[in-house]
Amino acid sequence: MILTIDEAARFAGEAQARGQRVVLTNGVFDLLHPGHVRYLETARARGDVLIVAVNSDRSVRAIKGPTRPVIPERERAEIIAALRAVDAAVIIDDETTQPVVDRLKPDVVVTATDVPIEQGWSSSAIIKKAQSVPGR
């Protein structure tokens, strides 16, 4: 499900009131690949409920440049929300996660640096793996 920031804060609070551990992570998730799925599964394993903050189109342009994103924010959020590991997605319009962390007050925040590169979560990890294949 895709939630507004207010709905996500309520959702997180209700989960915590039931004794569940809420995990928050974020990303652009443009051109979804298996590394993204592995990353989200790893994040989910750190708690009971996973909320994913998806960067808005405006914030993606600020972070990655004027030609991005390829997929519009609502579609990216819909794809992320449909993944088995994800309980909810929320679109954020900030370049950092601090505002959504402050608002949702998750028990755990998972960032890209929390997931070993061997798990291949990132585009850069996938590119590194592809470049290390013999004959390339």
Tens-place pLDDT, residues 81-100: 999 999 999 999 987 888 99
Q: Nearest Cα to 120, choosing from 109, 130, 133, 135? A: 130
Top CATH class, 2-131: alpha beta
DSSP per position, 20-35: PPEEEEEE---S--HH
**Lowest-confidence region among 40-54, 57-71, 82-96:** 57-71
Q: Nearest Cα to 56, choosing from 97, 28, 25? A: 28
Look up the pTM and report it.
0.81
**CA dist 63 → 28, 69, 93, 96 (Å):** 9, 10, 11, 10
